[in-house]
Amino acid sequence: MDFKNIHVKREGAVAVVTIDREKALNALNAETIAELQQFFRSHWTDRELHCVVITGAGPKAFVAGADIKELSELDVRGATDTSMRGLYLMKSIENFPCPVIAAINGFALGGGCELALACDFRLASENAKLGQPEINLGIIPGYGGTQRLARLVGRGKAKELIFTGDMVDAKEAHRIGLVDEVYPGDQLMDKAMELANKIAAKGPIAMAAAKELINRGLDVNLSAGCDLEKVNFGTVLATADSKEGLKAFMEKRKPEFKGE
């Protein structure tokens, strides 16, 4: 698959997707959104893929937002369509059947912060800066930021970030729960791959079910969420991977999951 704005490197069961528009600090233009969408759509049923890492090219930015030049040329219809395409991408990442890790190697602003919010984990380098600066441009977040940020860091912190447009550094982002871990820049990708490979070694069916249940469970009440877990538990227990995992424990060996 030939892409212009992203690179995909497969390392076993892990795919590393690098957004590469370094001159524009990896800003998400329409073409990049479309290429990312194509990547996720075409790998939706790839059973050999167990984890995805998304990062930005160069030492300075993960993604500095939606492409401001493109935004400035949109009319109402164009803005709605652009927002819809971005929201659809974020949903695809959130619902992707295997975990997606954001390796935040610098600025993650606006649409870049929203991209990271749609991922399952956010690992940041010490030089990372995150924020939703849209208000400074006279606009609002359009790729899910008003919704996912509040769910992650709480109503107050989300309002502070979105109303002021201020950036937070990696340390503060970690303190408020916006990122999960912070590493020196030269260790970020190794740490992201370490986590990705650990996840990739687990049973992919159980992993997909766990991801979906946590995501869906947060949108329903506790009782309905537990009901969802009950139904899925039975389905997962009936898989060959479950039999292998339980058997391997009793035989004191490492399980070999096949995704069946």
Residue 73 annotated in active site? no
Q: What's the Cα-to-Cα distance from 198 to each of 44, 93, 99, 122, 220, rounded to whole Å?
A: 20, 20, 11, 16, 30
Instruction: For ligand CO8, give the closer residue by CB, 42 or 80.
Output: 80
Q: Is 13 left (phi over 0), alpha (psi -120 to 50) or beta?
A: alpha
Residue 243 makes contact with ligand CO8 by CB under 6 A? no
27, 101, 149, 199: which one contacts ligand CO8 (CB under 6 A)?
Answer: 27
Instruction: Kindly tell me which of 138 and 234 has the beta carbon lying closer to ligand CO8.
Output: 138
Among 62, 96, 121, 143, binds ligand CO8 (CB under 6 A): 143
Q: What is residue 110's three-state secondary structure?
A: coil
Q: Is the dihedral of CA 54, 56, 60, 61 positive or negative?
A: negative
H helix or E strand, kind and range, residue 62? strand 61-63
**Binding pattern to ligand CO8, positions 84-123, x when CB under 6 A?**
--x--------------------x-xxx------------
Residue with Cβ nearer ligand CO8 (82 or 239):
82
The DSSP bridge partners found for residue 53 are: 16, 101
Q: Tell me: does residue 162 bind ligand CO8 (CB under 6 A).
A: no
Give the H/E segment covering residue 214. helix 204-217
Instruction: Name the residue nearer to ligand CO8 (CB basis): 24 or 188.
Output: 24
3-state secondary structure of 47: coil
Specify whether 114 is catalytic.
Answer: yes
List residues near ligand CO8 by CB under 6 A. Answer: 24-25, 27, 64-69, 79, 82-83, 86, 107, 109-111, 133-134, 137, 141-143
